[in-house]
Amino acid sequence: MGTCQLCGATSPRIARELGVCLACIRKSPRESLEIAQKAHLRSRKAYGLPPTPPRDPEGLPCNLCVNECRMAEGSVGYCGLRANGGGKITGPSDEMGNFSWYHDPLPTNCVADWVCPGGTGAGYPRFALAPGPEHGYRNLAIFFQACSFNCLYCQNWHFREATRRAKLSSVHRLLSAVDSQTSCLCFFGGDPTCQLPLALKASKLAREKHRSGILRICWETNGSMHPALLREMVEVSLESGGCIKFDLKAGDETLHRILTGVTHRRTWENFSYVGKRLEERPQPPLLVASTLLVPGYIDEKEIRSIARSIASIHPEIPYALLAYHGHFYLSDLGFTSQALAQRCVEAAREEGLRNIRIGNLHLLR
């Protein structure tokens, strides 16, 4: 049960740590953002992460993501991995990174499993090993232990411990995990954005190693990467039969910053770019969108706004509405209700989207 510091309302749909309600976010965006920034500062201090992206005018620039940090000597970027050491960017490179991996039998619980080759056989026989689910094969899931956002409801928030105590692994060690039963690689996290040079190199080397077989390259991302890196992601996914899954946190800029700490400007620019390339390979879909239905903050009005933007790019873009379970600094918000999920599906359909599903059904209450 939380209380809004602006209007005084008390509700189980107001996060205690956030301290502001959705109605006030929409009515008083500037004041709401000031309150939310305090929660972001607390959440980052707890893990030794920079409170905001460094902006030293004389510092070394890092342009991997929308934060565009400028790091003074000895300081660390917003992601917590890249730093200015001796006048050089230190930390992950295209050879070494902070990540872990595991094999997941196909079909797996992927955001795109309902439209991707591994889950449905879409694109068979060029991009899939079977006309249906690829039973007997597996996905290599690569989890990057850093992020360019600071989502207060992060579902994988434990990675911050690994960010703080970074232990780098080599790209070649990762490649050794790609075997004859691996038909797709999925980079997620955290987010691959902060370590895209390594992810792209791994993708290309893995494809060369298995050039005679099917090996799709997929991504789950907040979409905040530099556009030049996104173009490389698109090329490798288009050619391999993989997809790029954008997690669209919110349509409203202030709400997005309140929930994630970062602007959504780059995310939507990048999403639009990928959407314009859909026709180059209609099946399997290159682009998939998802939104987590955070109780009290992501409602049908917000989904309607997101869906309208997606549909304006292409009405066939698959859109997954994901049920939520309270996590991290919004752990008191509980579960997404079945009623909310259904209202959101109807809102997205009314805005013109044709391919919608509810994910994480086991979490609905």
State residue 262's pLDDT score.
Answer: 97
- Measured between alpha carbons, how far is 212 from 208 in angstroms, rounded to an integer? 9
- Measured between alpha carbons, how far is 243 from 269 in angstroms, rounded to an integer? 18
Q: How many CA atoms lie within 13 A of 27 on its CB side?
A: 8
- Measured between alpha carbons, how far is 219 from 209 in angstroms, rounded to an integer? 20
For the chain (365 residues), the mean pLDDT of every run of 10, in chain order, is 95 96 98 97 96 95 97 95 93 93 92 93 95 95 96 93 84 92 95 97 93 92 98 97 98 97 97 96 96 97 97 97 94 95 97 95 89
Structure tokens at 125: 């026989």
- Measured between alpha carbons, how far is 68 from 62 in angstroms, rounded to an integer? 6
DSSP 8-state assignment for residue 181: T
Q: Which residue ranges does the chain devote to CATH 3.20.20.70?
A: 96-363
State residue 338's pLDDT score.
Answer: 96
- Measured between alpha carbons, how far is 20 from 316 in angstroms, rounded to an integer? 35
Q: Which CATH class is domain 96-363?
A: alpha beta
CA dihedral 255→261→262→267, nearest 10 degrees, is -60
